[in-house]
């Protein structure tokens, strides 16, 4: 950390001021990294929802699943996890199905079973 001497014209004296690294060069805090890791699955899901409704407006999608455009916007923000029922409605609104499965460490992907809901 650098120390910079600055002159204050209001009082006409010199004082020491710490110069912090710029935001761009600082490492993110552990708390920030934990929060990014926590939100990552929600953000991935939000991107999938946005991709799903590419030819629809938020209002049109909301009408198809019986909710509000505000709720769709909230979902697309990537800040929370929707319910399984909301995900099922989204899939059905696009003419598809919600696929659910479990990934178990050490189990081969070919042995994984997906269930259409």
Domain boundaries in the chain? 28-116
Q: pLDDT class for 79, splitting at 50, 70, 90?
A: confident
Residue labelled with tokens 């939100």? 39
Helices in the chain by DSSP H: which ranges? Answer: 30-52, 58-65, 69-76, 84-93
- What is the share, in percent, of the chain residues with pLDDT greater than 70? 79
Question: Architecture of domain 28-116 in CATH?
Answer: Orthogonal Bundle (1.10)
Which tens digits make up the pLDDT trace of 18-64? 666 666 677 889 999 999 999 999 999 999 999 988 889 999 999 99
Pairing status of strand 114-116 against strand 99-101: antiparallel
Instruction: Give the pLDDT score at 110.
Output: 80
Report the range out of 6-15, 19-28, 61-70, 107-116 with the highest average pLDDT.
Answer: 61-70
Pairing status of strand 2-8 against strand 13-19: antiparallel
Average pLDDT over residues 112-117: 90
104 phi and psi angles, rounded to 5 deg: -110, 130
């Amino acid at each position: 950390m650098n120390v910079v001497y600055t002159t204050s014209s209001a009082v006409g004296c010199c004082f020491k001021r710490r110069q912090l690294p710029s935001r761009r060069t600082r490492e993110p805090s552990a708390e920030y990294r934990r929060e990014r890791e926590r939100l990552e699955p929600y953000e991935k899901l939000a991107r999938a929802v946005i991709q799903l409704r590419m030819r629809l407006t938020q209002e049109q999608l909301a009408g198809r699943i019986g909710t509000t455009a505000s709720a769709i916007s909230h979902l697309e923000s990537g800040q929370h996890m929707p319910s399984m029922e909301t995900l099922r409605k989204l899939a059905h609104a696009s003419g598809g199905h919600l696929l659910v499965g479990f990934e178990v460490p050490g189990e081969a992907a070919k042995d994984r079973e997906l269930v259409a809901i």
